[in-house]
Structure 1
Amino acid sequence: MNSKTAMIFAAGLGTRLRPLTLNKPKAMVEVNGIPLLERAILKLKKDNFRRLIINIHHFGHQILDFLQEKNNFGIEIIISDEREQILETGGGLLKAMPLLGDNPFLVYNVDIITNNNLEQLYNFRLQTDGLATLAVRKRATSRYLLFDENNVLSGWKNIKTNKVIFLNDSNRLQQWAFSGIHVIDPKIFEYMPSDLSKFSIIDTYLTAGKNEKIIAFPHDEDYWWDVGKPEKLQEAAEFLTKKS
């Protein structure tokens, strides 16, 4: 288990960050002069993930050139190429299945900036019998994951549409916002479609959650930014400047 594997979702179009992403992938957008992809790689490397899978799509060649220029940051990096078709989070994971190995792996959205201890999150997953462990926070969002009193996934809620999905009869549910970081057992692929297509990993969790434990890992004490929007990009840049 020395060489823990992680996957960075870096294939997104970054439409919310336009015009910054009109000529570059979201992963190459900079915060205080450092590309998001570099921040993600260095964070994972610091937390002892030395084997990374990175998916690419929008301006994917720029990511390939960047990694070559940086000599893969001295770790093993494997590309999952989605340049022909972007597959979203579930489809992207399914395409990368042959690269991910037989042990639990961590998944990290490239537009997340956090000091969450990823190794601690990974070890927490190893100590539980769940199919996946999801980093979650108490924050305002339009969609929430619902967990029971044992922090087991029990539903999903869309605030804007009022749509709610319940996975069991528990009536003591608490809502948490997903942080875009999770540790997953390869058994997850048994719950995915057999053909490669676009779908969300959340859909898979809501299917698998009827039979498997998907467990929350609250981390409200950490700093955390989803910089997928220009205003959040600016907020994170200002926060990191003050912090340094």
Structure 2
Amino acid sequence: MKAMIFCAGLGTRLKPYTDSVPKALVQLAGKPLLTHVIERLKTFGVDEVVVNVHHFANKVEAFIADRDSYGIKVSISDERDMLLDTGGGLKKAADLLNDGKPFIIHNVDIMSDINIAELYKKHQEGGALATLAVSNRMSSRYFLFDEAMQLVGWKNIKSNEQKISRVGDTYIPFAFNGIHVVSPQIFELMDGFDGKFSIVDLYLHLAKTESIKGYDVSKNRIIDVGKPASLIDAEKLLF
């Protein structure tokens, strides 16, 4: 099973830590965030990981090269020349990910106790193009779903901006948790999306004609460790 870990971001919310190291190598409970995510993915059967790099790319590459103990294949998707955002990063890594089977995407700054095996199974059973781990929690931005948990839109609570992919009577808001399972057919549906673009925009476009589903993990503990204070919270709650 393959997975991609999004690591290329600048980590501006984690300053001053990211002034000297990339976000992926910021320490939590004595280990870099990247190590936490890889070790957790391994417990669910992942045996090959793709890591994208941009900010302090050399440090991430050197760190991975020194970690034979991971015991799995770790490939680099190089975004040194241009930071491609989540959608562009996924497209660039297509050749490394596409083996004809669904793969996992995991943000490096998300710590959780989500059962990824259950999420993967739900994706396989549901026949969706992508299955997103979502929660009923406070956020400034929400994906909107219908009663069947089919993605129908997106809303920014602060700006009141709204994007609707499918008009309907039900728009149930759920916050996205940065963990998703994606079928490789997505690479055939990216026409018109090039360079730097968000996977959110890609999902909203594809939801017009394809099945993008949400999987409710509100019962789980999930912490976005993208800010210094949240690192402390994560260590208290998860370790």
TM-score by length of 2: 0.96
User: Runs of at least 4 residues of structure 1 off by over 4 A?
Assistant: none
- Could you tell me how far 1:189 is from its partner in structure 2? 2.2
1:184 to 182, 185, 199: 182
Name 1:120's counterpart in structure 2: 118
Q: 1:91-137 deviations in whole A, cap 9, x for unaligned? A: 00000001112211110000010111111111111111211000000
Contact 1:50 1:75 in 2 (8 A): yes
Q: 1:14-57 deviations in whole A, cap 9, x for unaligned? A: 00111100010000001111100000000000111111111111
Structure 2 gap segments, 5+ residues each: none
Name 2:48's counterpart in structure 1: 51
RMSD: 1.2
Tell me, yes or no, if structure 1 residue 79 matches structure 2 residue 76: yes
- Could you tell me how far 1:193 is from its partner in structure 2? 4.2
Amino acid at match of 1:27: A
- Could you tell me how far 1:68 is from its partner in structure 2? 1.6
Distance 2:26 2:201 in 1: 28
Contact 1:143 1:159 in 2 (8 A): yes
Contact 1:86 1:198 in 2 (8 A): yes
Contact 1:136 1:219 in 2 (8 A): yes
Name 1:109's counterpart in structure 2: 107
Amino acid at match of 1:20: Y
Give 3-state SS (helix, strand or coil) of 1:21's partner: helix
- Could you tell me how far 1:194 is from its partner in structure 2? 5.1
- Could you tell me how far 1:152 is from its partner in structure 2? 0.3
Give 3-state SS (helix, strand or coil) of 1:154's partner: strand
Of all paired residues, the percent bearing the same amino acid is: 45
Q: 1:169-202 deviations in whole A, cap 9, x for unaligned? A: 3212210000000011122223324564111000
Name 1:32's counterpart in structure 2: 29
Contact 1:191 1:204 in 2 (8 A): no
Contact 2:145 2:171 in 1 (8 A): yes
Decide whether aligned partners of structure 1 residues 209 and 83 sit closer, same or farther in structure 2, where only a CA change above 3 A counts.
same
Amino acid at match of 1:49: V
Tell me, yes or no, if structure 1 residue 100 matches structure 2 residue 100: no
Name 1:173's counterpart in structure 2: 171
Contact 2:101 2:183 in 1 (8 A): yes
Superposition pairs of residues 1-244 of structure 1, within 5 angstroms: 4-71=1-68, 73-101=70-98, 102-193=100-191, 196-241=194-239
Structure 1 gap segments, 5+ residues each: none
- Could you tell me how far 1:240 is from its partner in structure 2? 3.0
Q: Which region of structure 1 is more displaced relative to structure 2, 176-185 or 65-74?
A: 65-74
